[in-house]
Structure 1
Amino acid sequence: MRLRHADGSTVHLSYCTNVHPAEDLPGIHRQLSGVAARVRELLGVERLGLGLWLPHQAATDLLARRDELAGLRGRLTALGLEVVTLNGFPYRGFHDEIVKYRVYTPDWAGPERLRYTLGLAEILAELLPDDVTEGTISTLPLAWRTGWTSDKAVAVRANLDAVAQGLRALTQRTGKVIRLGFEPEPGCIIETTPQATGLLSDVDHDYLGLCLDACHMAVGFEEPGAGAATGLPIVKLQASCALEAPPGTQRALAAYDEARFLHQTRSAGGFTDDLGEALAGGLPAEESWRVHFHVPLHADPPPPLTTSAPYLRGLLHTLLGGAAPLTRHVEVETYTWNVLPGAPPDIAAGIAAELDWMRVRLASLGMKEQW
């Protein structure tokens, strides 16, 4: 969906397709004609924005067979879908039985991450709608924190310079500007937006900046204005909500301690890499906990648990409630629909409800829906 900001610029709203388990092109086409098309119908919009996730194999196939890339673009148009942003964080296997720490590999120290990201940029430049010249890609915050060395830091810096050069060359060749946003996440080398200030202060800010994830920021107990205060460009916002447990209620979180994804958990007095560690005594029960478990934006979990939806509303106001938007790409990223406790949900209906929740919030900030 596109919305018009009060300053006249367009804000793009999408949902991230990393919620769908598809590793190859046939699977991606099925998700487009299945869930994505139904979400658009449920919302009653002319065109629906997607934050497309293209795993390594699918991206490789698209680059090797340009007819497939043209076919994907045509299929998007035929279904009333459009893509201005890609999620380039998971490399592959995001819906394997166990993902956990593997989602951070390959990291930005190796050539695989550089090649994958530049490949995604080539693809996105071809997928952008005819009237759009700027796209964005989100990526991991350099690396997971363990195993970090000075040699690794040097390799990462070389790859950041190389990706910026590659993106600039792509602009010169195609006229399309593709910008890359590094996504701070608890437990990683860039955990918070203030850390990003130091680690990304001297990169090429024409092409490299931040992707702010509202769930991650809430788990880090960051102020909603922290991202705007870094001085770094905010190329994308991932609209997401963390799971919260008030003091003394943490046993209710046991239903969310699942095997696939890593659920970093923080309280005012501590941090654990995963929810199971916290439940085993890793965090004080007399403090509130926030859990990196992306829960639906529009619906509260069963009491006594709550979510960080108020935090997300504050962040939206900070980034989009001013005279000009601080970012123009907003991506709803609730990738955990398939591991939520209880009966399997109607994912299309859930995603549509989230997007409706978001467009209502954006309208309250003065934005007008274009389609």
Structure 2
Amino acid sequence: MHLSYCTNVHPAEDLAGIIEQLDTYALPIRQRLDADTLGLGLWLAAPAAAGLAASPSERRRLRTELDARGLEVVTLNGFPYEAFQAPVVKLGVYYPDWTSRERLDYTLQLARVLVDLMPDQTPYGSVSSLPIAWRTPWDGSRAAAAFAHLDELARGLARIEAETGRTVKVGFEPEPGCLIENTTQAAALLAGVDTQRLGVCLDLAHLAVAWEEPAEALERLRVAGVPVVKVQVSAALQADAPLETADVLQAYVEPRFLHQTRSRGGEATDDLDAALDRKLPGPWRIHYHVPLHAEPVAPLTSTVPVLRTAIRELLASSDCAHYDVETYTWGVLPLEQRPRDAAGLADGIAAELAFARNLLSMEGAAR
């Protein structure tokens, strides 16, 4: 099992910036955890991925820099294409989507990079990607283009494996508001792809926001023959009485990311401010990744109980080996919970990783 933290929380988008962030964040986090090795779920923006894919010497350089700091990479986050920590991201994170050649090229470039970053003994590497596209617009021509690209992706991954002897799998990440929002849609839409190399990246915050029961979700994927190739260990924001706590929720309204909101009764909005305006009946779960180890602003809670159940079910029924802590929202948390500096962010990520490590150990021991 490989535990890592996702570096899409950091804004660096070129190789020099990526190496700098290793010293600013990753190395201090490893030291705080007193770990010989720290796993990174590395995010490479499209220009950096293209440059590394085209340059074996640059890939060797990055691998050397990782090794020198006791860092290892078996998984890449290929969902955001670029500018993920820009002042405004919102719907932009879903483009280019899988109807676009750019998305295919980017993902294969990531796979090419990953085979040179993975430790030699690693059975497979993983790349997470967006769940095909945002739900609209969608029609037959866009569907044909997207699934043709998925077929080409599988062939490209097979070529990389034949050339290098290394296996890379791509997991599509169900997310609220997208073409694949939940495991029901994942099972229906991905059952016909090459499931030796393609599957699901199961984000546990998204699973909770969709109000899915973990055991049922995993069984649904198993029956459809769609593997879980990667798990994003994350927790969403929950408001049991949102209309009575609107003033507290307002502190989580911010301009950078979408915070899709779902009520237990099935009502939905594409952002938190819209849910507040419409006064949706509660309880709500909100696509707002919150730190795993710390409670949100009271009286709000998080979906950590769903996370705990999901981890237990995954360890019992899945052979997925990649668990990546993905809290990318540290910079937009309410001010009283936001890190003040780089050292504070390193402290927070280290605390999350300790939480996840302990949870995986406890649930694994109890299995």
- Normalising by structure 1, we get a TM-score of 0.93
Deviation at 1:226, TM superposition (A): 3.4
Find out whether 1:251 has 2:247 as its counterpart. yes
Letter in 1 for 2:321: R
Letter in 1 for 2:272: L
Q: Which has the higher contact order (CA 8 A, sep 6+)?
A: 1
- Structure 2 matches for 1:105-124, cutoff 5 A? 105-124=95-114
- Structure 2 matches for 1:290-309, cutoff 5 A? 290-309=285-304
* CA distance in structure 1 between the partners assigned to 2:123 and 2:18 by the alignment: 24
Find out whether 1:358 has 2:356 as its counterpart. yes
Residue 229 of structure 2: which of 228, 232, 235 is its match?
235
Deviation at 1:325, TM superposition (A): 4.2
Letter in 2 for 1:238: Q
Residue 311 of structure 1: which of 303, 306, 310 is its match?
306
| CA distances 1:73-104 after superposition (whole Å, capped 9, x unpaired) | 00000000000000000000101110000000
> Does the 8 Å CA contact 1:15/1:51 hold for their aligned counterparts?
yes
Residue 332 of structure 1: which of 315, 325, 329 is its match?
325
SS at 1:225 equivalent = helix
* CA distance in structure 2 between the partners assigned to 1:244 and 1:307 by the alignment: 5
> Does the 8 Å CA contact 1:184/1:211 hold for their aligned counterparts?
yes
* CA distance in structure 1 between the partners assigned to 2:32 and 2:264 by the alignment: 40
Partner of 2:280: 283
* CA distance in structure 2 between the partners assigned to 1:38 and 1:227 by the alignment: 37
- State the superposition RMSD in angstroms: 1.2
Letter in 1 for 2:148: A
Deviation at 1:211, TM superposition (A): 0.4
Letter in 1 for 2:40: L
Partner of 2:81: 91
> Does the 8 Å CA contact 1:212/1:227 hold for their aligned counterparts?
no
In the alignment of these two chains, the number of paired residues is 354
| CA distances 1:41-86 after superposition (whole Å, capped 9, x unpaired) | 0000000000000000111111233211110000000000000000
Find out whether 1:273 has 2:266 as its counterpart. no
| CA distances 1:177-222 after superposition (whole Å, capped 9, x unpaired) | 0000000001000000111111011100000000000000100000
Moved over 4 A (4+): none
* CA distance in structure 2 between the partners assigned to 1:227 and 1:48 by the alignment: 30
> Does the 8 Å CA contact 1:228/1:326 hold for their aligned counterparts?
no
SS at 1:142 equivalent = coil
Q: Structure 1 unaligned runs (5+)?
A: 1-10
Find out whether 1:154 has 2:150 as its counterpart. no
> Does the 8 Å CA contact 2:129/2:172 hold for their aligned counterparts?
yes
| CA distances 1:254-282 after superposition (whole Å, capped 9, x unpaired) | 00100000000010231000001011125
Partner of 2:176: 186
Deviation at 1:326, TM superposition (A): 3.1
Residue identity (%)? 52
> Does the 8 Å CA contact 2:228/2:318 hold for their aligned counterparts?
no
Partner of 1:222: 212
Partner of 1:45: 35
* CA distance in structure 2 between the partners assigned to 1:85 and 1:61 by the alignment: 18
Deviation at 1:131, TM superposition (A): 1.7
* CA distance in structure 1 between the partners assigned to 2:19 and 2:278 by the alignment: 45
| CA distances 1:208-264 after superposition (whole Å, capped 9, x unpaired) | 000000000100000012332112100000000000111232331100100000000
Please identify which structure carries the higher helix content.
2
